[in-house]
Chain A
Amino acid sequence: MSIQREMINIYIGGELFQVPEGHTIMMAFEYSGFQLKRGVGCREGYCGACATVYREKGDYKLKGGLACQTVVTDGMTIAMIPFVPAEKPVYDLNELTPDVGTFTQLFPSVFRCVSCNTCTKACPQDIQVMDYVQALIRGDIAKAADLSFDCIRCGLCALRCPAEIVQYNAGILARRLYGKYLSKNSPELEIRLKEIEEGKYDKEIDELKKMPGDKLSEKYYSREINIS
């Protein structure tokens, strides 16, 4: 029982196409005959490949969104962003320190933030982008890492920023610094690594590798399940 749909008008790059209502922008492109190469990736809102700028009927505002997550509306005018040619500094994480100095050196543009909040408004992930830029300015790497966590690197923030900041590249550096230097080591992991190195499990694993199928099956089905 497939449903009959109303057709609506959309303008892809200014050209009129008729597509079924309820389609996402990405589905609407494909319905119109475009086989996508750029501007398409996971199709589930995780990869950031499909940053798109659009304007809705009767509105003057240019809005940003992900093509795979935004539903077309009648009269929508759409342009997909094929690529964001933003700068990405090259660094060796081992030589960096998790502090504000790293950012003054690698991302001086961060300190030009004028707190206009345009980046936050542009973010399709609802990230408080300006807040994490401000956290970086204060040298609060942990806060920046936390706030920028859901970034999918679509580039819409950098495209709209009047201060020419490449927020998403600064964000991943903050998260990597946090992961490597600021979060505490797991004591259990350290112990296990040592045990593995010392060969503690080698004999038992070796026995399992050689175990006949019926014995192995018996062992599997009788193993104690202890989960919470």
Chain B
Amino acid sequence: MYPEYMMESIKKVEQTRPKRLELAKKFGKKVFPGMSEQEREDILNNYHPDYKDDALRELRIGPNKGDKIINEVVDIMESYPRDYPEIFDLNKVDFETDVLIIGAGSAGLSAAIEASNADADVLLITKLRLGDSNSMMAQGGIQAADQSDDTPVLHYLDVIGGGHFDNKPELVEALVMDAPPSIKWLEDLGVMFDKNPDGSMMVKSGGGTCRNRMHSTRDYTGAGICRVLRDEVYNHPDKIKYIEYTAATELILDDKGQCAGAIIYHLESKQYSIVKAKTVIIATGGFGRLHIRNFETTNHYGATADGLVIGYRAGANLLYMDSVQYHPTGAVFPEQIVGFLCTEKIRGLGAQPVNSEGELFVYPLEPRDIEASAFIRECENDLGVTTPSGLKGIWLDTPLIEELSGEGTIEKNLPAMLRQYHRFDIDIREYPMLVYPTLHYQNGGLEINAASETSISGLFVAGESSGGVHGRNRLMGNSQLDIIVFGRRAGKNAAAKVKKGVQLGKLSLEHVEKYIKEVDSIGVDKKRIAPIVLPDYIPDHVKAKQLSSEFQGTLF
């Protein structure tokens, strides 16, 4: 329950609610004017964390040398490998496969299904369990322009405008044109989309969409999809082998520069193995657990950007690693769920963001970076509410949903959200949620083409670890779409490449040796190693007694 002093602010929210309800009844979603191009630019410059002077610094090595990118990403790029190349005997191959997939969220799982459908042998590895991923956690929806008042052309405009026109056009085309077929593919696999009795899709709007095109499976959309894909992977033991609790710590190339496999590491048995693969798909997700600028995150425990590190060391280039997506609505109270994602669907259903005085201050469905900046502005201008642990937030007025659409709307549409808050004695049907932007998504990543392939032959990337699809800002519902579209493309194209014939030369880790020399030349602490593999939340006074804890990330 909220402490008394917070209840005082809630009273102000309750006082303005009837007026705001009237507004919503009259104008629908347009309860506040949307920002112009100039206003958007101003608010980003003044309040968005990416635009702070010290957010970025120059990367000194590798293909993107000289680019200014996010500090925390520079740290993991300018780092030493977990293990030195000379300790591995690449002549002793432990596993051989057509397609090695690193990461088992929905992108990796989709890739595995498509590659096996195309008759390729797949080895799928994940450092936690199959399906343990950000994919599983997505709540709100998946976009696809399949309604009669909508077109892929409008979807294209929304994607590229939301991305500040920095998206790679060929990738946006792939995303929007593959969207309806992807919905069909998922439904054929048994995903239960929210539908009306006549079979038509129940669709909602999201931040930055010009039509209702958000498909959902209640507020478990990510799980609704990911658990079906996982179940399907379990059903192909003949074609898809998988190994859990296993991270890829380095890619292997061959003497012709083709991608040829990976060094993999089992977290529990601590054994390394060598995988020789005709093609490799990186589907390792994003970087939320790097806690950029000390932000809390909505991300999965495994979101440490391992794929970026090993792909970059192998020579693949990065795109748009100067931008971070902060989801506008992360929980800041109660403290057990700080950072927890409060789906955009809540605003899609009509909840309005209001400040400590109960005033509506922004159009509720601006693109995420704009909306987040507006929340930060309120808090920096003393119009936020401070929690007992010192965090600030603004209100998301959920009771309005029921007043707008009737009792039971929240239980029906937001069961996960209702349950989460209920566990900590807050009924979101009666009281608003206190929220603040939370680190949510890696907009950029390793550059791919429309075939989901990088500049390195045989190296594919799909999902959050790729760059270019969303430009510098992703819209809600387009990451669930991205992982299916490009996961499938990566799987199909990797299998096709194998079918056409891949001749691997001598396996090599020369690129890692070269990279180490580059790291040596800029002088960084030898203890700075990557990939991190797992984050570390052990408090300092305990770490002081753990003799191996001087290393960043996973303990040895």
Contacts and interface: CB of A to CB of B under 8 A. Distances in A.
B190 A49 contact: no
Contacts of B536: 35
Contacts, number: 231
Given A183-B195, A187-B200, A228 B212 contact: yes
Contact of A149 (B152, B218, B268, B300): B218
Contact of B336 (A22, A93, A188, A192): A22
B201 A172 contact: no
Interface in A25-55: 27, 30-38, 40-47, 49
B137 A189 contact: no
Contacts of A208: 153, 156-157, 160, 169
B151 A201 contact: yes
Interface string A135-175: 00000000001000110110000000000000000001101
B190 A31 contact: no
B420 A45 contact: yes
Contacts of B337: 44
B152 A196 contact: yes
Contacts of A201: 151-153, 177
Contacts of A33: 538, 542-543, 545-546
B187 A179 contact: yes
A184 B201 CA distance: 10
A132 interface: no
Contacts of A37: 128, 245, 267-268, 534
Contacts of A125: 419
Interface residues of A, number: 76
Contact of B137 (A34, A42, A179): A42
Contacts of A88: 234
Contact of B37 (A1, A31, A216, A217): A217
Contacts of B149: 226
B340 A44 contact: yes
Contact of B201 (A93, A186, A217): A186
A227 B209 CA distance: 8
Contacts of A126: 419
A76 to B, nearest CB: 15
A49 B127 CA distance: 13
A60 interface: no
A46 B136 contact: yes
A27 B149 CA distance: 48
Given A31-B542, A208-B153, A184 B198 contact: yes
Contacts of A189: 146, 180, 183-184, 201
Contacts of A23: 336
A41 to B, nearest CB: 5
B177 A228 contact: no
B317 to A, nearest CB: 22
Interface in B301-355: 301-302, 335-337, 340-341
A196 B177 contact: yes
Contacts of A152: 223
Interface of A: 1-3, 22-24, 27, 30-38, 40-47, 49, 69, 71, 88, 90-93, 125-126, 145, 149-150, 152-153, 172-173, 175-180, 183-189, 191-193, 196, 201, 204-205, 208-210, 213, 216-217, 219-221, 223-228
